[in-house]
Structure 1
């Protein structure tokens, strides 16, 4: 596995794949990798002729009060995991490589960025869209892969790629979970064993919502009320949102009469967790 640290090295790698008429897959990450990330790498290896991951903790998507300084950075462990997975290369830039002194250009994210995470984390998707666009320019691969756990992030990136006529195929792949249902997240390592038990309330609330929809419930208010009740009973410390939204626009839906998604953001201790569940129209 090649470890690339400069933009020139990264560009040469992708150009070499293109010169050999090879498809290439991009898996952008912030490190602290887990099975969810590795599943994206393995899917890319099946889908494409070559695969490159990136590891970069992007400072522009963190608000001043968020956890940038303590975000986990187990680089050697991550590199070993990617090599074991079979990744062909990994791009590991320094902050000064991605944001040179005087950098002042940022992307205005698409409309799908405004609700939910966009409302709770002002400026977050501005940073996400900017860094992903930069990575896609440095690494103009044929494909790019993201996890569905960050449903709104994948929607923002897909819309950006579509709106800006970028020549890359974006895929969002299903959330990978622990056997007990907890969605894998780099931030799970912040949780104590007691907090982890309470964090299971997110997946339980989504399963309860799915059961309600399967039983014929389509009124969003009733389903949202059920999710709030399960989260409260589980003992989460704060519920930022637990809503039913249009799967395309992420605007709240009064009822499930089109493809929809239930989305939750909640805090357990000081750890902020998100999760989601897709629904088809009944």
Structure 2
């Protein structure tokens, strides 16, 4: 496995693989890798000849008061995780490699970015679309793998690929959870022991949503009122949003169906965590 820091080194490797008729997977990450990331690499390894993992904490998807400076980083740990997963190439560029002096070109989107995280993080998805577009242009993968924990991001990237005629198949992979149900996230490391216990309110509330939906007789408004009440009973929790949306459009729904995604962002102390679930068994 090679670890490279320049765009040209990635392009050189890809050129050789293409000449050999190899197909290529990309797993974009911001590093501080955990088993959720590894599950993406494992799937990519099974389905492709070559696997590239990018490790880049993308500054343009963070707002001015967010955690870019403190976002956890550990390249040596990440390198070991990638090597164990059979990754062929790790692309770990510096900010200056991805965004040259005078950089002023961005990829934006309407509609899908206007709900959920887009409301409280207005520049976030422009940053995501821009960096993912750049990575697709650099690596030219046949397939790219993203976790379903970031359900809105997954829907946005799929739509971007469709709208801009990008020649890559975007594959969503299931949320990986700790044994007690907490969705794996690099930001979980911010939590104190007390906050870590309190964070279980997210998955417990999704369990409640699934139970209520399967029992029937609940419209979305009634469901959401019950979910918010459940979260508000946890003293360390503060709701950013709890919504029931169509999984493709990210627009709020009035009636629950198999295309309904219940998504939430909740602060546990100062740490903002997200989670989601298709509550009637539909697919993301």
**Is the shorter-chain TM-score for this pair beyond 0.5, marking a shared fold?**
yes
Tell me the residue number matched to 2:57: 57
Q: Describe the superposition over 1:117-150 as per-residue Cα deviations: whole angstroms up to 9, x where unpaired.
A: 1111010000000000001101101000000000
Any idea what SS the aligned residue of 1:183 has?
A: coil
Q: CA deviation at 1:234?
A: 2.6
State the partner residue of 1:33: 33
Following superposition, the deviation at residue 95 of structure 1 comes to: 0.4
Residue 149 of structure 2: aligned partner: 149
TM-score relative to the length of structure 1: 0.97
Deviations 1:136-184 (A, max 9, x none): 1011010000000000011111110110000000001010000100000
TM-fit CA distance, 1:17? 1.8
Q: Distance in 2 between matches of 1:95 and 1:231?
A: 38
Q: 1:106 maps to which residue?
A: 106
Q: Is the 8 A contact 2:146 2:173 kept in 1?
A: yes
Task: Tell me what 1:88 maps to.
Answer: 88
- Indicate the larger mover: 20-29 or 211-220: 211-220
SS in 1 for 2:66: coil
Give the Cα–Cα distance (whole angstroms) in 1 for the partners of residues 251 and 264 of structure 2.
14
Structure 2 residue 193 is matched with structure 1 residue 193:
yes
Shift of 1:31: 0.5
Aligned residues: 282
CA RMSD of superposed structures (Å): 1.3
Paired position in structure 2 for 1:246: 246
Runs of 4+ in 1 over 3 A off after TM superposition: 279-282
Is contact 1:257-1:281 (8 Å) kept?
no
- The aligned residue for residue 171 of structure 1 is 171
1:235 is displaced (CA, Å) by: 2.8
Deviations 1:77-135 (A, max 9, x none): 11111111111110011100000000000111242111111111010000000000001
Summarize the Cα distance change of 1:217–1:174 in structure 2 as closer, same or farther, 3 Å threshold: farther
Distance 2:257 2:67 in 1: 38
| Structure 1 Cα separation of the partners of residues 58 and 108 of structure 2 | 17
Stretches of structure 1 that go unaligned for 5 or more consecutive residues are: none
d(CA) in 2 for partners of 1:259 and 1:279?
9
Runs of at least 5 residues in structure 2 that lack an aligned partner in the other structure: none
- 1:253-278 Cα distance to aligned partner (Å, 9 max, x none): 00113511000101011100000001
Partner secondary structure for residue 225 of structure 1: helix
Q: Which moved more, 1:66-75 or 1:14-23?
A: 14-23
Instruction: Measure, in 2, the Cα distance between the counterparts of 1:209 and 1:200.
Output: 14
Equivalent residues in 2 for 1:194-213 (5 A)?
A: 194-213=194-213
